[in-house]
Chains A and B, each alone.
Chain A
Amino acid sequence: MNTLAVMRLELRRLFVRPLAWVLAGLTLAELGWRFVLLLGNFLGVQIKLAALPGGPGFTDMVAVPLLSSLLTGGLVPFGLTELAIVVVPLLTMSTLAGERGGGTLRLLLATGTPAWAMVLGKYLAICIWMALWLVLVLLMPLSLAHGTHLDWGKLAAASLGVALLLATLAAIGVACSAYASHPAVAATASLLLVLGLLMVNLGAQTAGVANGLIDWLALGTHLETMLRGLVTSADLVWFALVIAMALVLATWRLGTERRRG
């Protein structure tokens, strides 16, 4: 019950603050532009691709690259994933650090709301905002579904991967906000942590070291598999573990708030 109350409060605050709208507007505009460019590029090579047996189609060249440039790179290198790495820390930075700075965290604590309910409520509110964001982005390729051949399985796997990535970024952001005294510190810490998770295996790869553990730790390893259309339980477990660990750490920190003062 209290989780729902905190979630409603956080959602309301999110939807009346200009930051969320500005971020949504700017990112959707960039992604719309990216969609048009990707589509134009696809239409330009469509006839050649049609001659290739098993060649890439609309899903590989437009829908999935719109979600992430992790596989394709190149043409406008900011898909939803790359934007989320910057946007999500900005959205989550105030969830707890802002409450602490404004004195309202004490009010929430004094309502007898358990720490886990506060963390979960705020996390769910951010997840709802991001789910809407993801749906609006997916509507772009889906709007052409009737006139093109969509690989539904691959798109579903890629969408699930991006949804899990967004949920992971939100959990890390909320955890950083629970530990930080200022929202800006929370956003910076969250951004650095996510970049660390993305690049943890790059050094090893550059040095020519093939290390299964380091690769397993890297966020990109698990997202890439799903962007290619493959959903494995190992990847799902990785996302679930990171989300759970971040939320548990946030809850633990908030649980000590009454003692810390």
Chain B
Amino acid sequence: MLIADTPPLLQLTQVGRRRGGRLAVSGLDLAVRRGEVVGLLGINGAGKSTTLSMIAGALAPDSGRITLDGTDFVEHPELARHLVGWLPERAPVWPELTVLEHLHAHGRLRGLAGAGLREACARVLGQLELQALDRRLAGALSQGQRQRLGLACALLHGPALLVLDEPASALDPVQVAGLRSLIRAQAAAGVAVILSTHVLAEVTAVCDRVAIMHGGVLRHDGPVGSDGQAGLERLFFDIAVRGQPAASASGAAA
């Protein structure tokens, strides 16, 4: 069955949110299906992080509706416990805890315990190559290592939806390649992934679809085009400069 044939795991309908006295997100409609990787693009202040915070359950929308697996997510934020894994921007940590203690804490908060928790910790430590750092304090990690720890916490409970806010921002090229493989592997396993990034190559490398926001409004939502990064760049800069896609650029990307 094609991804497009499956019902959306995540559905945002006319979602709006004010932050700091201004409209950060307005009238947002977006759907993400299982096994799909959606790249969320936009310049700084476009509303990407606010959107991802709402999708992760950390922020409630002022208007509109978010459904997760067919259930109202705003009314039932507890759905996030098992269904959503979130890597926020800058990967906040408890600096006084070790890497392993972080994973244990996140696992318990997600309902894991005992052998299941230990196995999940071992799995993500291996996936993110954090074994050698498992007893290091999170406060002593580099930003890249913190990023990997945040990603490990997001993957720990095997979520159905993975929300990644600039996951590659502090990683080296080798780690970026590893991250891309990991995202594709998650998608192949049926996980819906939505990631925000400033790196257009990231989108063409791993995403099935691209959504571009500008001024809190979704300006483009479509598959990553066959003309790859060049087409995406044209589309992105059209939206970033003019606020909307040129008809030809939009068509080229789609």
Contacts and interface: CB of A to CB of B under 8 A. Distances in A.
Interface of A: 1-2, 4-6, 8-9, 12-13, 16-17, 102-104, 106-114, 258-259, 261
A173 to B, nearest CB: 19
A252 to B, nearest CB: 15
Interface stretch (B39-47, B78-86, B217-225): B78-86
B94 A13 contact: yes
Given A107-B88, A110-B84, A258-B77, A17 B96 contact: yes
B243 interface: no
Interface residues of B, number: 34
Given A6-B109, A9-B109, A107-B92, 11 more contacts: A5-B105, A9-B94, A13-B94, A17-B96, A107-B86, A109-B77, A111-B110, A112-B81, A114-B78, A258-B59, A261-B59
B19 interface: yes
A128 to B, nearest CB: 17
7 smallest CB-CB distances across A and B, nearest first, come from A103-B92, A112-B81, A5-B108, A112-B80, A258-B60, A112-B78, A106-B58
B184 interface: no
A109 B81 CA distance: 10
Contact of A104 (B19, B57, B92, B108): B92
Given A13-B96, A16-B97, A108-B109, A258 B79 contact: no
B97 A112 contact: no
B57 A9 contact: no
Contact of B97 (A13, A110, A114): A13
Contacts of B17: 261
Given A112-B77, A258-B58, A106 B88 contact: yes
B90 interface: yes
Contacts of B65: none
Interface of B: 17, 19, 50, 53, 56-60, 62, 77-82, 84, 86, 88, 90, 92-97, 101, 105-106, 108-111, 153
By secondary structure, the B interface counts as: mixed
A17 B77 CA distance: 31
Given A102-B92, A103-B88, A110 B105 contact: no
B111 A1 contact: yes
A258 B111 CA distance: 21
A106 B87 CA distance: 11
Given A1-B111, A5-B108, A106-B53, A111 B88 contact: no
A110 B94 contact: no
Contact of A109 (B58, B97, B111): B58
B135 to A, nearest CB: 13
B92 A2 contact: no
A160 B21 CA distance: 49
B58 A104 contact: no
Given A5-B108, A9-B109, A16-B97, A110 B57 contact: yes
- Looking at B57, B81, B108, the one whose CB has the most chain A CB atoms below 10 A away is B108
Contacts of B60: 258-259
Nearest to B50: A261
Contact of B94 (A6, A102, A114, A261): A102
Contact of B105 (A9, A109, A112, A258): A9
Contacts of A2: 81, 109
B108 A8 contact: yes
Contacts of B79: 112
Contacts of A114: 78
B1 to A, nearest CB: 29
Nearest to B56: A110
- Looking at B17, B88, B105, the one whose CB has the most chain A CB atoms below 10 A away is B105
18 contacts: A4-B108, A8-B108, A9-B109, A12-B97, A104-B92, A106-B92, A107-B58, A109-B57, A109-B58, A110-B80, A110-B84, A111-B106, A111-B110, A112-B77, A112-B78, A112-B80, A113-B109, A259-B60
Contact of A12 (B19, B77, B92, B101): B101
B110 to A, nearest CB: 6
A17 B92 CA distance: 18
A102 B106 CA distance: 16
A167 B53 CA distance: 35
A112 B92 contact: no
A107 B89 CA distance: 11
- Looking at A4, A103, A111, the one whose CB has the most chain B CB atoms below 10 A away is A111
B169 to A, nearest CB: 15
Contacts of B84: 110, 112
Nearest to B20: A261
